[in-house]
Amino acid sequence: MRKLMITTLLCWVAATVGAQDYSNAAEQANRLNALTKAYPQLTTLKSLTKTNGGKDIWLLTIGTGKTETKPAIAVIGGVEGNHLLGTEMAIGFAEQLLKGSGSDSIRALLNRTTYYVFPNMSPDAMEQYFSKIRSERAGNATGTDDDRDGKQNEDGWDDLDANGKITILRIESITGDYKLHPDDARVLIKADMGKGEKGKYKLLIEGIDNDKDGLFNEDGEGGIAFNKNLTYNHKTFAAGAGEFPASEKETRAMLDFLYDAFNVYTVVSFGTNNNLSTPIAYNPAAANQRIVAGLLEPDAKVNGMVSDMYNKVTGSKDAPRTNVTGGDVLSWGYFHFGRYSFSTPGWWVPKAKPDTAKKEKAFTVEDATANYLRWASQQGIANTFTEWKTIQHPDFPGQKVEVGGIDPYVMNNPPYKMADAVVKKHAEFLVKLASNQPEIDIINLKTEKLASGLTRISLDVVNKGSMSTHSKLGERNYFVKKVKVALQTAAKQDVVGGRKIHLLNSIEANSSSSFSWVVKGTGKITVEAGCPTAGTKTIEINL
Amino acid sequence: MKQFILKIFTTILVLGSGMYVQAQLPDQVFKAAGSPVNPKVTATWNRYYDHAGISEICKKIAAAYPDLAKLQSIGKSYEGRDLWCLTITDFKKGNADKKPGMYIDGNIHSNEIQGAEFALYTAWYLTESFGDTKFIQELLEDKVFYIVPTINPDARDSYMHKPNTGSSPRSGVIPVDNDGDGQVNEDSYDDINKDGHITMMRRKSANGRWKLDPKDPRNMIQVGPDEKGDYELLGIEGIDNDGDGRVNEDGYTFEYDPNRDWGWGWQPNYIQNGAYKYPFSLPENRAIMEFVMKHPNIAAAQSFHNAGGMILRGPGGQEDVGTYNAQDIAVYDAIAKKGEELIPGYKYLVVYKDLYSAYGGELDWFYAGRGIYTYSNELWTPYLMYMREATRDPFDNASFSFDRYLLFQDAFVPWAEYDHPQYGKIEVGGMKKNFGRAHPGFLLESDAHRNMAFSIYHCFHTPKLDVQEISEKDLGDGLKEVTAVITNSRLMPTHSSQDTKNKIERPDYITLTTSGKILSGMQVENRDLNLSREQEQNPGTIEVANIPGLGSVTVKWIVQGGGKYTVSVDSKKGGTVSASK
């Protein structure tokens, strides 16, 4: 036992202090287990399911007492298999939060808020980063026929230069559509045909046409991508999306848990989608479609408020524009789960300023790769670019084919040593977000004796938080609980005026609803008001 | 132990003697055309069976006809009941799971019970008629039926054994907090008169706007603007159990709609009432989905519902209109128009256009998600009462007169007085749950037979492939051109247009086996004009995207040497066939 504890401790120390790189699935599990050992009163860890690749889908619950009765934030990492940072942010948030749990403010927070942390929804895919050949993989271990030709995984990428990385092929061709970047010849950019430019290269992901069907790498290892497999705007039949929504075990495990977690009022996911740096604007046409496709106006306002807070806390800027493509968790959280839903990649390559000492000038053509290379060089990050090298390619006999280009993963995951700062800022954001949560209270209680044994009770049920008890769209959702205001009578008490039970769709931020009853009888009577997303308040009244 | 043996012995004796008593001697009966004259499995088709009853008939069919019927449980319901599937085919001929398949289920809506009997009747009829009906023998040589009588067994039993209306539960039985108050199933119907039927409540009232129908005093009709009524109607039998001021707002009778749970065009509950959490979030539907995914040979499907006398096809949602192209609609139209002839009173309709938009329906997933030609028949139509148009309005006099003169008032619970905790003195009465949607007994078998005949026609028109021609042409220099023509003599193509558009199933494989060397293989686009498309890779097996209904495809190979040729066709939905020359 002692030995086990020491080992666990060592693992934890190794994981948190000594880590030089992102954690693989085993290390992720160690870090999570270490937390439950260190904070048994504040955490529970559960494996919701195992993926087809045999990996656990973990749920770490952080909170105190009856966690299911406190308003909750779901924190989801590993939304995309190539986004190592998202998992680091989710686990790192838990570590930061719990490390601070000795303080009064965090204690108070955990007395009123529950966090459900799903550290990694793409464990099968993420393991690719730690394998012999690095390639940005999105799909899990489910066998799929991506090009729907009746054969599975018959044409994946190939590490033609045997450097352990899947990069890019450029093939010289008179019909090529890419040309060299004018300011950085390592980088290829699209030739602008509209301006009469001519391309010189065709680009392909490193590989060969293994099945000789004229397509390259169209059906390799890697099945269904979590962030394409959810139910909103699912692209059925598209590669990686699944034959129907929620086809995968990990998807269903999360949905099954969350649909029963009526206390969740907000979902925060870490992935390429970003409505935190820039909020999603209210679009009346989209919001009013039969199949609702845009945020309802009050919900767009909340997005704006939370986005402001996010930008203040994280100090982030120059976020790239994102394009929500369907089947994603950000959309699901709002449109189908009916909760406030936020997503951020957490980090992106900062805009690099030209180094005048090196006589660099602003780029004549904006390009993400060129910017990355300039930034990386300024940061002293080396060895993330493979110089172009000519190879013999069986599919292009007699043509000049070169392998090279930027490493996988580096454009959307910072070097690990920079991850800690990202984690801390986002932990701060998640704590701050909870300070805005809906909170029910009962105020302005008044009792009037109308006669002996006849009392009028009146009171206001207020939401003290700066978010509504329910998103506006969530008010329509079947899987939410309404705000219930109930007068609970004891023996020999009769309600002669008013309704015993009121159900309200919501109470908006910083607003209240008034109730009154006329009760015949004496003794103590109870009023209970609340809902899982905003907590429940009970008061006793003497008649 | 001794007692146990005695029990078994008694059971055998009772069962044995029961069978002996029921089966007629062959010389005592005379065959009515088109019906099994002395069936091995005696089943009565003028009544309904609960899940245990269905299970027993399924087991008897499988035991009586081991070469024609195999029974398997393809999953469990939420409460653990088996989802029985009878596979019906001539198991002595060919590989069952490679024959073009017809999938039939019933009862997805738990109150729509007769789908189970119609499906089961199909299995019974096919097995009992096989011995003396050549058409059935040929059909079962070529085709396979997968018959799942009820895909909602929990709530079927709930409908039959618990108090219900004719329209409840419709749902499955997974509890849902319908009114969002934090309590589950706290205010369901209440069977005030304890008769197992949830009917209506009325109360004598000087301010009422209803009166007794002079044509049939059991019926209630609304009074005119200048008239005074005697009664008010208080809704469906029930009380306010939880004191929230609402009656029957959160019961077991409606939790969700299992036919809004399928993985095509699925929408959440606030857009599509009845949707559960995500596609196939209900265990029964998930089991069916997994079965269908494992049986790509299923080319046709029928999902029985009630009521209204309809042969429905998709799309369920307006957004999916483009999913159905002209070629597929032609197939749907041809089969369904035959259906209108076979089943008097039934009309061929399109869900989104003629009924309402419904997302996540079973027929949409079968067709759009899997490329399977699928209908849902809405069984029972009031037309069948007097063989003329009538409505399903519960206050329609036709129903009352039919009940009076043909059912002898067996379908009606006479009004009687009760004390209601909230409404005081009331009367409870109305049509029983087994009338209005379910067939009356004497009409059940004939309509089951007609709907089965439609399913058989539907199944008959799944693809039937033949190698019509293998011919050889000498090209000189030791080279031969071998041409094969593959025909499909039925209405359905091997791939519906939705299938080819999305590549749901793999192409059909046409393989040449020869001792010679295959140098090149091609699909012939126009034989007369000598147009063809070469397949460079693996030329021995030509991959054909589709073999059209009532049509053919031609392929050819250039072969060096060799002489004897075998052409084999392997199609997921068209079956396998081969010929040699």
- At B267 the pLDDT is 97
Question: What is the C-alpha separation between B181 and B171, in angstroms, rounded?
Answer: 20
Residue A135 lies in a domain: no
Confidence of residue A87 (pLDDT cuts 50, 70, 90): very high
pLDDT, tens digit, 9 for 90 and up, residues B98-157:
999 999 999 999 999 999 999 999 999 999 999 999 999 999 999 999 999 999 999 999
CB contact under 8 A, A148 and B270: no
Question: What is the C-alpha separation between B11 and B22, in angstroms, rounded?
Answer: 16
For the beta carbon of residue A480, count every other beta carbon within 10 angstroms.
24
Percent of chain B predicted with pLDDT > 70: 95
Chain B stretch 306-345, residues whose beta carbon is closer than 8 A to a beta carbon of chain A = 319
Peptide bond into B315 cis (omega under 30): yes
- At B27 the pLDDT is 87
Residue A291 lies in a domain: no
Cα distances (Å, whole numbers) of residue A32 to A40, A57, B158: 12, 12, 45
- Strand-pair partners of B420: B424
Residue A281 lies in a domain: no
Residue B289 lies in a domain: yes
Which letter, b or e, does each residue of A501-516 get, where b requires 16 or more Cβ atoms within 10 Å of its Cβ? bbbbebbbbeebbebe
Measured N-to-C along each axis, helices A84-99 and A416-434 cross at an angle, to the nearest 10 degrees, of: 60
pTM above 0.90, yes or no: yes
Task: Give the CATH number, domain containing residue B133.
Answer: 3.40.630.10
pLDDT, tens digit, 9 for 90 and up, residues A41-56:
999 999 999 999 999 9
Report chain B residues whose CB lies below 8 A from the CB of A246. 278-281
Chain A stretch 319-338, residues whose beta carbon is closer than 8 A to a beta carbon of chain B = 335-336, 338
Question: What is the C-alpha separation between A111 and A66, in angstroms, rounded?
Answer: 10
The yes-or-no verdict on residue A11 having pLDDT over 50 is: no
Whether B514 and B570 share a structural domain: yes
Q: Tell me which chain A residue has its CA closest to the CA of residue B242.
A: A501
For the beta carbon of residue A347, count every other beta carbon within 10 angstroms.
25
Whether B168 and B193 share a structural domain: no
Q: Tell me which chain B residue has its CA closest to the CA of residue A151.
A: B506
Whether B358 and B413 share a structural domain: no
Average pLDDT over residues B238-254: 94
Whether A213 and A229 share a structural domain: no
Whether B423 and B374 share a structural domain: no
Amino acid type, B74: I
Phi, psi of A32 (to 5 degrees): -70, -45
Cα distances (Å, whole numbers) of residue B465 to B100, B486, B504, B568, B576: 10, 7, 20, 11, 8
Percent of chain A predicted with pLDDT > 70: 97
Suggest the residue from A244, A263, A482 to mutate for an interface test with chain B (most B CBs closer than 10 A): A244
Confidence of residue A18 (pLDDT cuts 50, 70, 90): low
The yes-or-no verdict on residue B8 having pLDDT over 80 is: no
Closest CB to B269: pick one of A150, A478, A481: A478
Whether A460 and A533 share a structural domain: yes
CB contact under 8 A, A255 and B277: yes
- A150 in contact with chain B, both atoms CB, cutoff 8 A: yes
Tokens of B128: 């009992």
Whether A8 and A85 share a structural domain: yes
Pairing assessment for the beta strands B347-350 and B310-313 based on DSSP bridges: parallel
Residue A294 lies in a domain: no
pLDDT, tens digit, 9 for 90 and up, residues A203-251:
999 999 999 998 999 999 889 999 999 999 999 999 999 999 999 999 9
For CA atoms B168, B170, B176, B180, give the dihedral sign.
negative
Task: Give the CATH number, domain containing residue A526.
Answer: 2.60.40.10
CB contact under 8 A, B277 and A484: no
Question: What is the C-alpha separation between A265 and A468, in angstroms, rounded?
Answer: 9
* Chain A nearest CA to B176, separation (Å): 9
Contacts of A143 (CB under 8 A, 6+ apart): A152, A153, A223
Confidence of residue B562 (pLDDT cuts 50, 70, 90): confident
- Report helix, strand or coil for A183: coil
- A360 in contact with chain B, both atoms CB, cutoff 8 A: no
Among candidate residues B431, B449, B480, the one where a domain is terminated: B431
- Strand-pair partners of A192: none
- At B362 the pLDDT is 98
Question: What is the C-alpha separation between A412 and A369, in angstroms, rounded?
Answer: 11
To which residue do tokens 């067994």 refer?
A: B153
Enumerate the H helices of A379-510 as residue ranges.
Answer: 416-434
Confidence of residue A4 (pLDDT cuts 50, 70, 90): very low
pLDDT, tens digit, 9 for 90 and up, residues B299-331:
999 999 999 999 999 999 998 999 999 999 999
Confidence of residue B253 (pLDDT cuts 50, 70, 90): confident
Whether A31 and A82 share a structural domain: yes
Question: What is the C-alpha separation between B287 and B295, in angstroms, rounded?
Answer: 12
Question: What is the C-alpha separation between A134 and A126, in angstroms, rounded?
Answer: 10
Cα distances (Å, whole numbers) of residue A424 to A53, A428, B206: 31, 6, 73
Q: Tell me which chain B residue has its CA closest to the CA of residue A69.
A: B182
Residue A288 lies in a domain: no
CB < 8 Å & 24+ apart, contacts of B242-245: B242/A501, B242/B181, B242/B183, B242/B186, B242/B187, B243/A500, B243/A501, B244/A499, B244/A500, B244/A501, B244/A503, B244/B179, B244/B181, B244/B187, B245/A499, B245/A500, B245/A501
Whether A117 and A6 share a structural domain: yes
Which letter, b or e, does each residue of A378-398 get, where b requires 16 or more Cβ atoms within 10 Å of its Cβ? eeebeebbbebeeeebebbee
Question: What is the C-alpha separation between A393 and B159, in angstroms, rounded?
Answer: 68
Is-contact A68 A9, C-beta < 8 A? no
- Return the beta strands (E) in B264-297 as ranges: none
- Report helix, strand or coil for B419: strand
CB contact under 8 A, A252 and B278: yes
Whether A401 and A488 share a structural domain: no
Rg (CA), chain A: 27
Q: Tell me which chain B residue has its CA closest to the CA of residue A243.
A: B369
DSSP letter, residue B141: H
Confidence of residue B212 (pLDDT cuts 50, 70, 90): very high
Whether A234 and A324 share a structural domain: yes
Among candidate residues A381, A400, A434, the one where a domain is terminated: A434
Whether B185 and B158 share a structural domain: no
Question: What is the C-alpha separation between B447 and B477, in angstroms, rounded?
Answer: 66
Whether B487 and B369 share a structural domain: no
Residue B281 lies in a domain: yes
Domain that holds residue A463: 440-542
- At A366 the pLDDT is 94
CB contact under 8 A, A244 and B507: no
Report chain A residues whose CB lies below 8 A from the CB of B263. 236, 243-245, 247
Residue B569 parent element (H or E): strand B565-571
Pairing assessment for the beta strands A385-391 and A401-406 based on DSSP bridges: antiparallel
- Report helix, strand or coil for B12: helix
Kindly list the strands in the beta sheet with A440-451, ordered across the sheet, starting from the edge strand earlier in the chain.
A440-451, A454-463, A511-520, A494-497
Average the pLDDT over each of A23-27, A283-287, B222-226 and give the range with the smallest value: B222-226
Residue B46 lies in a domain: no
- At B392 the pLDDT is 67
- At B23 the pLDDT is 59
Report chain A residues whose CB lies below 8 A from the CB of B278. 231, 245-246, 252, 255, 336
Amino acid type, A113: T
Question: What is the C-alpha separation between B369 and B503, in angstroms, rounded?
Answer: 11
CB contact under 8 A, B263 and A236: yes
Average the pLDDT over each of A442-446, B14-18, B23-27, B350-354 and give the range with the smallest value: B14-18
Whether A261 and A173 share a structural domain: no
Whether B305 and B400 share a structural domain: no
Average pLDDT over residues A442-466: 97
- At A323 the pLDDT is 87
Whether B397 and B348 share a structural domain: no
- At A358 the pLDDT is 86
Domain that holds residue B486: 465-580
Cα distances (Å, whole numbers) of residue B391 to A313, A512, B381, B398: 66, 50, 8, 8
Report chain B residues whose CB lies below 8 A from the CB of A144. none
Q: Across chain B, which distance is largest between two alpha carbons, in Å?
A: 105
Whether B398 and B471 share a structural domain: no
Average pLDDT over residues B419-423: 98
- Report helix, strand or coil for B316: coil
Task: Give the CATH number, domain containing residue B480.
Answer: 2.60.40.10
* Chain A nearest CA to B573, separation (Å): 14
The yes-or-no verdict on residue A134 having pLDDT over 70 is: yes
Tokens of A495: 């309600």
pLDDT, tens digit, 9 for 90 and up, residues A151-209:
999 999 999 999 999 999 999 999 999 999 999 999 999 999 999 999 999 999 999 99
CB contact under 8 A, A231 and B244: no
Report chain A residues whose CB lies below 8 A from the CB of B506. 148-150
Q: Tell me which chain B residue has its CA closest to the CA of residue A145.
A: B506
Q: Tell me which chain B residue has its CA closest to the CA of residue A489.
A: B243
Whether A241 and A168 share a structural domain: no
Report chain B residues whose CB lies below 8 A from the CB of A236. 263-264, 369, 502
Question: For chain A, how are helix, strand and coil distributed in percent, rounded to 5?
Answer: 30, 25, 50
Gap between the terminal Cα atoms of chain A: 58
Inter-chain CB pairs, A–B, below 8 Å: 103
Whether B441 and B574 share a structural domain: no
Peptide bond into B358 cis (omega under 30): no
Residue A488 parent element (H or E): strand A483-488
* Chain A nearest CA to B503, separation (Å): 6
Gap between the terminal Cα atoms of chain B: 67
Report chain B residues whose CB lies below 8 A from the CB of A68. none
- At B17 the pLDDT is 44
Is-contact B372 B299, C-beta < 8 A? yes
Residue A307 lies in a domain: no
Question: What is the C-alpha separation between A382 and A376, in angstroms, rounded?
Answer: 7
Question: What is the C-alpha separation between A140 and A155, in angstroms, rounded?
Answer: 17
Residue B51 lies in a domain: no
Whether B425 and B442 share a structural domain: no
The yes-or-no verdict on residue B413 having pLDDT over 80 is: yes
Whether B472 and B448 share a structural domain: no
Whether A325 and A238 share a structural domain: yes
Question: What is the C-alpha separation between B141 and B143, in angstroms, rounded?
Answer: 6
Average pLDDT over residues B90-105: 98
Total count of domains within chain A: 3
- Strand-pair partners of B70: B87
Whether A217 and A228 share a structural domain: no
- Return the beta strands (E) in B19-153 as ranges: 69-76, 82-88, 101-106, 144-148
- Report helix, strand or coil for A380: coil
- At B122 the pLDDT is 98
The yes-or-no verdict on residue A360 having pLDDT over 70 is: yes
Residue A117 lies in a domain: yes
Residue B333 lies in a domain: yes
* Chain A nearest CA to B543, separation (Å): 10
- At B26 the pLDDT is 82
- Report helix, strand or coil for A196: coil
The yes-or-no verdict on residue B204 having pLDDT over 90 is: yes
What CA dihedral angle connects A214, A218, A219 and A223, to 10 degrees? -170
pLDDT, tens digit, 9 for 90 and up, residues A316-356:
889 998 889 999 999 999 999 999 999 999 999 999 999 98
Task: Name the residue among B188, B206, B211, B213 with its Cα closest to residue B198.
Answer: B188
Closest CB to A246: pick one of B264, B279, B536: B279
Whether A248 and A115 share a structural domain: yes
Total count of domains within chain B: 3
Question: What is the C-alpha separation between A168 and A206, in angstroms, rounded?
Answer: 5
Residue B29 lies in a domain: no
Residue B15 lies in a domain: no
Residue B288 lies in a domain: yes
Report chain A residues whose CB lies below 8 A from the CB of B243. 500-501
Question: What is the C-alpha separation between B264 and B268, in angstroms, rounded?
Answer: 12
* Chain A nearest CA to B263, separation (Å): 5
- At A222 the pLDDT is 85
